Structure 1
Amino acid sequence: MIKIVFFLKRSTDLTREEFRKLYESRHARLGEKHVPNAARYVRRYLEPVPELFTGTMFEPEHDVITELWFDDRAAYEQAMANLARPEVVAEIVADEETIFDRSKHRLFMVEECDSPVGAER
């Protein structure tokens, strides 16, 4: 399994609620359209909470963690090749410019290590 994780920040013009609505109703549809071979496509929206020991509230550096999961390297490479097509880039970037602060995009490949906890012990 290969997982690509995107850390994304909303445009300063949007509230969290507006951003989530636009992402789910429009931008996520582009992911579904242009990465149909993903095993999973997950959006994890970040909601600030007070810092545990001080109670201080911080604006998160990112508003959503998006994950694209692929069964293997071949599926990942196929998806990346599709996403690199000029017409796909143009469509995605045009939408991103309306909802994201694109200067804050961060992208990582993730290797997971699980520890047994709770009932798994």
Structure 2
Amino acid sequence: MIKAVALLARKPGLSHADFVAYYEDNHSKLIRRLLPQIREYRRNYLDRDSGIGADGAADPDFDVISEFVFDDRVAYDAMLATHARPDVAAAIEADEANFLDRSRTRMYVVDVRESYS
């Protein structure tokens, strides 16, 4: 298994509720259709009223942590290749323009470690 996480920020002027609604009702369905290599796809929306941080710590500059799980590195690389196709990239970019501040988008492959009691 391989996991990637994306930190995504809403477009200026878009309410949190409208951001969530658009992502859930439109963008997540587009991603599932265009990038079938993703096995699991979670959206973790920040509850800004419940944040705990050190004194003086900066507020997060994103609104959702999206998780993408792939069976293996081959599936992840296949997703990247699909995403790089001009037709797929254009469709995703056009849809993201409706709700994301793309200048703040970033994605990372993560090393998942789990603990159980």
Question: Considering the TM-score relative to the shorter chain, is it more than 0.5?
Answer: yes
How far apart are residue 115 of structure 1 and its match? 2.8
Equivalenced residue count is 116
State how 1:27-66 maps to structure 2 within 5 Å.
27-49=27-49, 52=52, 60-66=60-66
Cα-to-partner distance string for 1:54-103 (whole Å, 9 max, x where unaligned): 999x7531101111100111111111111110001101001111101111
- Pairing of 1:35-114 with structure 2 (within 5 A): 35-49=35-49, 52=52, 60-114=60-114
- Letter of the aligned partner of 1:102 in structure 2? R
Higher relative contact order (CA 8 A, sep 6+): 2
Q: How far is the alpha carbon of 1:53 from its aligned partner?
A: 7.8
Q: 2:20 is paired with a residue of what secondary structure? A: helix
**AA paired with 1:95?**
D
Query: Tell me, what secondary structure is at the counterpart of 2:97?
Result: helix
In structure 1, runs of 5+ residues without a counterpart are none
Distance, in Å, in 1 between the alignment partners of 2:53 and 2:66 is: 28
Residues 37 and 50 (structure 1 numbering): CA distance in 2 closer, same or farther, change over 3 Å? closer
Alignment partner of 1:11: what SS? coil
The percentage of counterpart residues that share the same residue type is 38
**Residues 15 and 115 (structure 1), Cα distance of their counterparts in 2 relative to 1, 3 Å cut:** same
Match of 2:18 in 1: 18
- Normalized against structure 2, the TM-score is what? 0.89
What SS does the aligned partner of 2:49 have? Answer: coil
TM-score by length of 1: 0.86
Stretches of structure 2 lacking an aligned partner (at least 5 in a row): none
